[in-house]
Amino acid sequence: MAFVIAILMLALVGLVLLVVGAPLRRARRVGGSRLVTGARAQRDDAAASPPAHTLDELEAAREAKYREIRDAELDFRTGKLSREDYQAIDAGLRAEAIEILDSLEAMSPGDSLEPPGASDA
């Protein structure tokens, strides 16, 4: 019985080492670790100036802005905003959205192409 347990434990330890060590083995094969300079540079920047805008953050901000635009439209259609207020808010939100889209284009040009088949129904 103890023998079986020992074998099982050994197998488990081996599995753990395999799973946990995979990235390290991969890195050694590729030849040296991939330094993520972006991350380190960002940390150095952050201390001195407002946080650098990474791609992820901009994309999240863009999605949030789209949601705001849709929310404002729903607010208008359910009678919580007057037409004038809605148009003012909507214009402001769209301008902010354009800013974010421009920053995104600047970071990765060509990325903002429309996905195929999308249309403005």
Chain residues in the site for other proteins (CB under 8 A): 2, 5, 8-9, 12-13, 15-16, 19-24, 26-27, 33-37, 39-40, 42-43, 46-47, 50-51, 54, 56-57, 59-61, 63-64, 66-72, 74-75, 77-82, 85, 89-91, 94-95, 97-98, 101, 112, 114-115, 118, 120-121
Least distance to other proteins from the beta carbon of 30, Å? 9
Least distance to other proteins from the beta carbon of 106, Å? 16
Question: In 3D, which of 46, 70, 62, 68 has the Cα closest to residue 103?
Answer: 62
Least distance to other proteins from the beta carbon of 68, Å? 6
Q: How far apart are CA 27 and CA 33, in angstroms?
A: 6
CA dihedral 99, 101, 104, 108 (to 10 degrees): -130
The DSSP letter of residue 115 is P
